[in-house]
Amino acid sequence: MAVFVDENTRVVVQGLTGSQGRFYGLRNRDYGTQIVAGTNPRKAGTDVEGIPIYATVAEAVEQAGANTSFVIVPSAFAADAVLEAAAGGVKLIVCVTEHIPAHDQARIYNTLKRDYPDVTMLGPNCAGILSPGKANIGFTPTEVAKPGGPVGVVSRSGTLAYQALYELTAAGIGQTTCVGIGGDPVPGTSFIDALAAFEADPETKAIVLIGEIGGSAEEEAAEYIQDNVSKPVVAYIAGVTAPPGKKMGHAGAIISGNKGTASAKMDALTAVGARVAQNPTEIGGLVQEALKEIGAL
């Protein structure tokens, strides 16, 4: 069973009339995702290859039955787009936009928690979410994924998620869902949220967690794993050689003093029983070992 999205997910693309929104929206549709609407107040009443364009998300929810939003608009407009989606009635928002100012990210996070506690947001600055064979929202290349499970993947990094999918597929191991949570300082969904979803999913038998330097999300995930996760976890932490004070790609991937280092995160995960890969190519083999150990392979 997939988490967060499946074949019944109905998506409105905020940004479908733009070049990137059109490219990825149609690519997602071609995979089989139900892309039922786009929004643009200046182009309401038109369509993009048969997908109707509405003025607002609320109209897309009411008239096209959308229950999920894919936000792929420029950073200056992304915060307002997310909040419009929440107010419009969708329950899942996938925001791939990067370079959203930190104060806007904080405003999004706090407003959703206060006013829309039943709305889940993935991102910002994430690759999106893929439930192989069922739905894809965002950038994740479906060519490297294998439907059917039994492994769930959650990652701060898009590129490393793609490699994890490739390594698993090459080993003949399918995936239930690959969840991108993004690498910005204020993500809408945490590792813990994804771990809880995978723990509750009967078809997910093992979990791959991909983190990176900066912040304390991986250490918090380790504490959660110790108390709440019964399934085997395989982890990889990017940035082992990153020097203190240097940002590595993502806005949140920066070491401050002795906090947020790759070694500290790896030690925390190892201490709670996770198998920690030294490089991404080890992920497939470690997952094989874990699944064999529990009789799931």
Confidence band for 250, pLDDT divided at 50, 70 and 90 = low
Active site residue 103: no
Q: Please check whether residue 100 is in contact with residue 92, taking contact to mean a CB–CB distance below 8 angstroms.
A: no
The rounded mean pLDDT for the chain is: 94
Q: Give me the residue spans of the domains in the chain.
A: 10-122, 140-293
Domains 10-122 and 140-293 share a fold: yes
- Name the active-site residue from 29, 250, 265, 275: 250
Per-residue confidence (pLDDT) for residue 288, from 0 to 100: 98
Give me the pLDDT at residue 2, please: 86
**What's the average model confidence in pLDDT over 177-206?**
96
Contacts of 61 (CB under 8 A, 6+ apart): 12, 67, 88, 89, 90
Listed in order, strand segments (DSSP E) in the chain are 10-14, 34-39, 47-48, 51-54, 68-71, 92-95, 120-122, 128-131, 135-138, 150-155, 174-180, 206-212, 233-238, 275-277
* CA-based end-to-end distance of the chain: 17
| 278: three-class secondary structure by DSSP | coil
Q: The tokens of 294 are what?
A: 């529990």
Q: What is the band of 297 on the pLDDT scale with cuts at 50, 70, 90?
A: confident
- pTM value is 0.94
pLDDT digits (tens, 9 = 90+) for 24-36: 999 999 999 999 9
CATH superfamily, with its number, for domain 140-293: Succinyl-CoA synthetase domains (3.40.50.261)
Out of 3.30.200.20, 3.40.50.720, 3.10.180.10, 3.40.50.300, the CATH code matching 10-122 is 3.40.50.720
